[in-house]
Structure formats: C-alpha cells, structure tokens
Amino acid sequence: LEEMGRYMLPGPFFSTVVLGGMSIMDAGSEEQKQEYLPRIAEGQIIMTLALTEPSARWDAAGVELTATATGDSYTLNGTKLFVQNAHVSDYMVVAARTGSPEKDISLFVVPTQSDGINQTLLKTIASDRQSEIVFNDVKIPSSALLGGKNKGWETIQKVMQWGAIGKCAEMSGGGQQVLDMTVEYAKQRTQFGRPIGSFQAIQHHCANMATDVEGSKFITYQAAWRLSEGLPADREVAMAKAWVSDAYRRVCALGHQSHGAIGFTKEHNMQLYSRRAKASEIMFGDTDFHLENVANIIGL
C-alpha cells in the first residue's frame, strides 16, 4: 500500500482487499469465505464497501439505509455516498440498518448490477472514482447476510481501522515521493549561480519534510503491527490517522513552495499529490474525528 500511494495507483486493490475482502474475512461464514476470498486472491472479482451516507457520519447512527426482512430475502432502500470503485466492482459489502437500536447494523454482499441499484460517478478533487449508489427496493437473498443479523457494526469498526491504517500507508508512500521529487529538483534547479538545495531555506524545508515522512511511517507501522497481532489499537490507529493526514498535507505544502512556480501548475505532478492528500485526509474519519477519539481514550 505504501508503494501504491507513492505512485498513486488508480486501481481497485484497496477497495477489494482492504474493504471488501477483510469484511468477509472477519464476518463471513466458511461457505462465504470459500465463495469470495479465493476469487479475490486470483483477481477474478472486484469488491468494495458501501458505508458512508449523506449524513457523512462515521458512527452507527449514520447508517440509515434500511434492510427489511421479507420471508427468505431482504429489501434494501437508501443511499450510499463516496463508494470507492463501485463503477467497476462486481460486489459491494453494504452496511444496512436492520433494527431500531443504534448499533443494529447488518452487512450484506450485494451484486453491483442488481435490479434497483442506480450509480452516479462523482466528481472528486482527486479524481479517485467514487460513486453515489441509490438502492430502490433492491431484493437480495438471506444468504447474502454477512455474519449475524444486527452484528455488522463490530466488523465495520474493524474495517474502518484497517482502512484508516491502509490510507496512512498510502499517504506515507505519497509523502516519500513528494520528498524525493523535491530533493531531486533542489539539486537540479539553479538560482544565483548555484543549486537552490544549497540555500538554508530549501534545506530546512526538505529536512522538515523528511521528518514528517519518517514520523508517518513509524506511527503507521506501530498501529499496523498492533492490528496484525490482535492487540488493542484504538489509540494507535486514531493517533496515526490524525498525524499522517496532517503530515502529508504539510509535506505537500513544502513541496509546492520548494518547487516555486512550476510546483503550482497542473503540468507538474505536485498537484496530483496535494489532491490525493486532501481526499485521503477525510476518508475513515478526518483529523478532528480522530483527535477527539484520542482525547476520549486518554480520559478527557
């Protein structure tokens, strides 16, 4: 993921493996795992997660799309926003409300081409292929239920953590590439008869960028290690997402400044990384959301 972020890979790996695949890995029955996971590993199918709604909330109360049981099937009604790579996905893992208590959320594996699904590709700052998905009386069999009824929120919380750390890895890779581009430019661009990298102002910009990039990697690795070991990681994930989002933004800002005029043009790749930084910052909770989580965890 770090290397994918470094080169801004425009593919569905993240949505398929981190979002869809990990949802099935965590909540799916053995039969469901056998049906979907081998095909994901072989690249035969593309998946995504449909979670965010117009409320833009990241808690269970933000899930308003309903799944109504009708015999041996469910009927889905509602709207999902910012669904990654839905336009090329074969299946979506859809979070739906199946009860009145706030956390009565269930997950369903829904074929993207099901009757009653309407897709609209959204125009985003990073051109990263997100869609609005409207469900109008979409009927799916009970076998599409992923895990138990009303038990999907626990899986969603895990997937949000994996997604947040995955984005941190991508942002760390992107920051590394911005740093590398800036250092190379500082060696080649001359002003007043000498490379601009010989000036203290540019040197300090690059040093600050390097510090942010290394800090981003270390805090991401720590959180990822705790998740992989099954250790409590709420604090580490929140810290990482808050820190790396801000660090990536700082790195891009200093990259623009160090490149001068060319760094502010669409002809240069710098603008692509700044766009991706802004898009990644708000995915799986923005900085304020995660700082609030950290404050709550430390007792404030």
The DSSP result for 92-109, as a single string, is EEEEEE-SSSTT-EEEEE
Alpha-carbon distance of 267 to 297, in angstroms, equals: 44
- Say whether both 89 and 163 belong to one domain: no
- Say whether both 262 and 166 belong to one domain: yes
Q: pTM here?
A: 0.93
Strand partners, 97: 66, 105
Least Cα distance to 150 among 42, 268, 27 occurs for 27
Strand partners, 79: 134
Least Cα distance to 125 among 21, 220, 31, 252 occurs for 252
The number of distinct structural domains making up the chain is: 2
Q: Which H or E element spans position 211?
A: helix 200-228
Alpha-carbon distance of 243 to 216, in angstroms, equals: 7
Q: Do 107 and 27 form a contact (C-beta atoms < 8 A)?
A: yes
Alpha-carbon distance of 196 to 50, in angstroms, equals: 47
Domain end marker among 150, 167, 189:
150
In total, the chain counts a number of residues equal to 300
Domain end marker among 99, 131, 150:
150
pLDDT tens readout for residues 110-138: 999 999 999 999 999 988 899 999 999 99
- Say whether both 108 and 176 belong to one domain: no
Domain end marker among 150, 181, 197:
150
- Say whether both 133 and 169 belong to one domain: no
Computed over every residue of the chain, the mean pLDDT equals: 95
pLDDT tens readout for residues 234-270: 999 999 999 999 999 999 999 999 999 999 999 999 9
Residue carrying the six token digits 């709420």: 234
pLDDT of residue 102: 84
pLDDT tens readout for residues 66-105: 999 988 999 999 999 999 999 999 999 999 999 888 889 9
Domain that holds residue 144: 2-150
